[in-house]
Structure formats: C-alpha cells, structure tokens
Amino acid sequence: MTEIEERLDELKGLGLYRRMRMISGPQGPRVVLDGNPVLLLCSNNYLGLADHPRVRQAAADAAMRWGVGAGASRLVCGNMTIHRRLEERLAAFKGTAASVLFGSGYLANMGVIAALAREGEVVFSDELNHASIIDGCRLARAETFVYDHGDVEHLAWGVRQAGGRASLIVTDGVFSMDGDVAPLEEIVELAHRHDVRVMVDDAHGTGTRGPGGRGSVAAAGLDGEVDVIVGTLSKALGAYGAFACCDARMAQYLVNSARSLIFSTALPPPAVAGALAALELLVEEPRRVEKLDANAQTLRSELAREGFDVTGSETQIVPIVVGEAELAMDVCEQAIGMGVFAQAIRPPTVPAGTSRLRLAVMASHSREELRGAARALGRAAFRAGFRPAAAAPMLAVRDGSHDRPGPDAVPAPFDHEQVARAA
C-alpha cells in the first residue's frame, strides 16, 4: 500500500473522506443530484442570479465580443475595458473610490493580506476566518495573532501585547460556516484607537446584507471606515472572481504588490460580464435581498419548530450542528433520500466535534419548499439517530471552545492546525 493510499484509508476511517457529487443543469432551487431530483439547500447562489436569463445572455454576448479568455495577466495585456467597467461599478456599489478585481476570493485574500502585513509586524485574525484568510496570514511574513471568535476583548489584549507592531485586523463579515456576523463596529473603533488597518472579507455579506445588499460594512454603518473590503462575484452575484474595494492609493498599491493579482491571468470576459449583469439586477431589484432575509427567517423558524437549535445564525447561512462527522454524513444521506440536499461539513472545515449540515437559503426558494425541507430534515435526523434537543446549543459550542489566555500568554498561531479550514 502506498503512502497516498494509507492517507485515504485514514480519512475514510475518520469519516472525513470526501467525494464530488454531480449536479445536472444550472444552479437553482431544484437540481438533479447524482441522477435524482432534490431541493438544493447548500448553494451560495443566494439571490438566484447564477441562472438568471439576463446574466446568462450577458456572459454569452461577452464571449462573442471579447472571447472566452483574457490571454494574460492584467499587467501584461489581459486588462480589458470590461474589467475596468466592473471595477468602477463595484466601487460605486460599495461606496469606495476604487476596486481591484482578483481571480477568486481565495486569491484576493491571500494577495491583500500578504501585501499589507509585512515582516516584523503582527496581523490579527478571527479563529473562524475562512481558509483563504488563514493561508494569506501564513504567506505573509508577519506574525499572526488568532483571537477568539468575535471576541473584541481578546483582540484588544492582543493588540496591546503587539505594541507598535500591529498592522492589520482581518475578519470575515459573515462567517461562512456559522452564519453569524462579526462585531465590526467594535473592531473598527479598536483599530482606529490603535492606528491599525482593518480588512473585511464580505464574501457572504455582499448582496445579502445592508441597504440594497451593499454588505456587512454598510449594514454596520461603517462606510469609509474600513481600509479594504474583499468580496466575491461567485456567491450572491452568481458569477466567478473577486474584488477588493478601497481608496485609490490602496488600489494602486495592491496592483503593484499583490502577487496573486500580478501573477494570475485576468478574469475571463464572460464571467466579468455575467457579474456586471448580476450587479445591475441587484441594484434594480433590491427586493431580492428582502426576499432572501424573509426566506432565512422562515427556515430558522421551521427548523426551530422541529427542535433544531438555530440561535447562532443571523443570516442566510443556517448550520445544524450534529457533532461527530459520521453522524453528520448519515443525516445528510437520509435527507438526500427525502429529496433535500444539505451538505455535511466536517473537519478540517469546522472544528472537531462540530460537524454539521450547512444550510444555505436562496431568494429563489419558496416558503413552501423551505417548510417542507425543515420537516424532511427533522425526519432525517430522527432516522440517523440524532436528537436535536440533546445536542449542545450552538452558542455554547462557540463559547466553550477556548479558554481565556493569561496575562503572560503569547500570541497564538492557528492552534497547530494540520490542514487549513475551507468553505
């Protein structure tokens, strides 16, 4: 047996082996999964725009006009008028002076963090930040202080310990596996007091939170107060790629310093055009954001009726924490058999002992579909042997995960994490 086979067998034995499931057709409320029709309840296509006729037509037209690929990085010959047009629209939407496109959210986070946090400095990261933030911190030459989830008191302690070396606080706006929201007002106030930059990854907040879907920063009333807002084109906007919104000088700096931008081929024109069309739809039809919020409230209410603890979620992301990985997989398979696809999420994506079904609501779901899904999930849990009432409440799971550091403690790394978390 080879070393690779041994590793695969170990993953299977731990209940952590993964395989790719096959979706037939476009992303919508209902899809065909491995040949069987199901209600899709784990897609990040939050506003239902990935298969919107205008978005699809815009992408098709762009392919005919500009071609399928950009051909080179933007600093060589891949910078097209359509890229600049989307950057201008995104900056206007987010209320910043400029924006810079990246190939993906992963590339954006790695590029921005590594550009802003330099050797001898300290970057501060929430313990539940996305894997791309974790890897961005690892690639930067700065030291990393990981503060307890959403705990501004712990963050403030770390900033004080760092003295004048503190350079960047980075946090998700909406946390992708828990559906809760970062305490941005407190983080920004702390950062201003200590002259530290703030970066918010709003991948799951763009198009879903704040006035007109402008995101978590706008929802917190912090327009102009955050140094860099990273967002994605692949979730609520239904396309592909990412962006960093900031002031004009910061944009110039990223173009000259973010290696993941400098050394990557520019986004394909069809993806850019699709994102432009989706952004136009979002601006024209803000009721999509209202419908998404109403749908999320419906699902949380119906799940609570079935006995599930959903108190930790404030957004369209609603986790059902099961505990052990194998049990989460069993509940997932039972739900698929009842026509509901809600993917099981296991370590290293989430901490050990908190495996879950991560439910993601779309604006294109009907309330009847969500009510039926909650009932099906209740039956699936019962058949798998999971009793929601016996599970630890989500807030207790979070609060009990770490002890408060003593006064002589040193900034913590990523808890000796062997494999980076990823959504």
Known catalytic residues are: 176, 204, 235
On whether the CB atoms of residues 209 and 315 are closer than 8 A, the answer is yes
Q: Which pair of structure tokens corresponds to residue 114?
A: 């590594």
- Collapse the DSSP code of 99 into the 3-class scheme (helix H, G, I; strand E, B; otherwise coil) and give the result: strand
Q: What residue type is 66 in one-letter code?
A: W
Q: What is the rounded CA–CA span in Å between residue 48 and residue 29?
A: 8
Give the strand pairing for 98-102 and 340-341.
unpaired
- DSSP string over 213-259: G--HHHHTT-TTT-SEEEEESSSTT-SS-EEEEE-HHHHHHHHHH-H
Please list the residues that pair with 30 across neighbouring strands: 39
Q: Containing H/E element for 101?
A: strand 98-102
Q: Containing H/E element for 187?
A: helix 184-194
Residue ranges in 285-414 assigned as alpha helix (H): 287-305, 325-337, 367-384, 394-399
Give the strand pairing for 340-341 and 122-126.
unpaired
- Collapse the DSSP code of 417 into the 3-class scheme (helix H, G, I; strand E, B; otherwise coil) and give the result: coil
Residues 6+ apart with CB under 8 A from 153: none
Residue ranges in 128-202 assigned as alpha helix (H): 131-139, 152-162, 184-194
CB-count burial class (<10 Å; 0-12, 13-18, 19+) for 288 = buried
Q: What angle do CA 213, 124, 397 make, to 5 degrees?
A: 75
Q: What angle do CA 251, 83, 233 make, to 5 degrees?
A: 85
